[in-house]
Amino acid sequence: MRIYSTLLISWTLISSLSACGPSSKPELPSSETTRITVTGSSTIAPLAAELAKKFETEHPEFRIDVQTGGSSRGISDVRSSIAHIGMVSRALYESESDLNHHLIARDGVTIIAHGKNPVKNLSRQQIIDIYTGKIRNWSMVGGDDKPVTVVHKAEGRSTLEVFLAYTKLKNTQIKADSIIGDNQQGLKLVANNPNAIAYVSIGAAEYDAAHGLSIKLIDLDGIEASTQNVRNGRFPITRDLNFVTKGNPSEATQRFLEFAVREYNQNIVEGLGFVAADAP
């Protein structure tokens, strides 16, 4: 009797724990319901959520779940059919050609420095030299005689991948003074450190700079860092924001995808600091 109750208790305990453990995944809806699960990049998530809200208002029979966890999660969730749509904030790799991608917007990655930093413009080579430790003082790029605090992103972040692709550097070559997680952490750090240099999503940087945060967007090779220049394709560090799907998506997923790339969603895209994908 005693052993039995102990067993019973531990069984209840373990089963309840595993229910809330890592094995709990967003449930795939059965064919009658019209729930669409979207997971992946935290950069795209606000955009996907806005699109989902509008889509749900127009089509009340649909429910769209947006969950973040990074582009890599978006890829793996779509592959394992945990999600219907993955959000991936970069172009797909060759190894990912088993998936279909749908470009919904573009995002620029911009170099930022403290608002009081006199440096306005950097060349690609100067950025490479700063991030590999060849340039250690702002005076070498026309600034004050102050050491450069190099702010870099943690492994796996898609802004990091975009930055590495632009500089053609390997992550092992970079000598950083500070490593951050998301864009907000980078913006706060730079605003509080007059010697810092970092790279973040241009939408987030433009928004915060316009709302009084003491940061400035550094021009690249004379090209002004602005969403305008991302749109017209002049700005060199950009990335694609993609929805990815596997095989033949369900009708519901198909309808949401068509909705997401439709032109009249441009104001949503631009409201978040991104650039509409099909602009010239």
Q: Which residues bind other proteins (CB under 8 A)?
A: 5-6, 9-10, 13-14, 17, 21-22, 42, 68-73, 76, 147, 149, 154-157, 170-172, 176-181, 185, 188-189, 192-193, 195-196
Q: What's the closest the beta carbon of residue 31 comes to other proteins, in angstroms?
A: 30
CB of 112 to other proteins, least distance (A): 15
Rounded Cα distance, 75 and 238, in Å: 20
If the CB atoms of residues 6 and 232 are measured against other proteins, the closer one turns out to be 6
What CA–CA distance (Å, rounded) separates 113 from 121?
A: 11
Distance CA 95, CA 182 (A): 26
Task: Compute how many other C-beta atoms are within 10 angstroms of the C-beta atom of residue 245.
Answer: 20
Distance of closest approach, residue 224 Cβ to other proteins, in angstroms: 28
Compute the distance between CA of residue 192 and CA of residue 211 in angstroms, rounded to an integer: 15
C-beta of 158 vs 265, nearer to other proteins: 158
Minimum distance from residue 84 beta carbon to other proteins (Å): 20
Nearer to other proteins, 22 or 280 (CB): 22
- Long-range contact pairs involving 140-147 (C-beta distance under 8 Å, separation at least 24): 142/118, 143/117, 143/118, 143/119, 144/117, 144/118, 146/194, 146/195, 147/195
Give min distance, CB of 107 to other proteins, in A: 17
Nearer to other proteins, 152 or 231 (CB): 152
Could you tell me which residues are beta bridge partners of residue 184?
Answer: none
Residue (86 or 249) nearer to other proteins, CB: 86
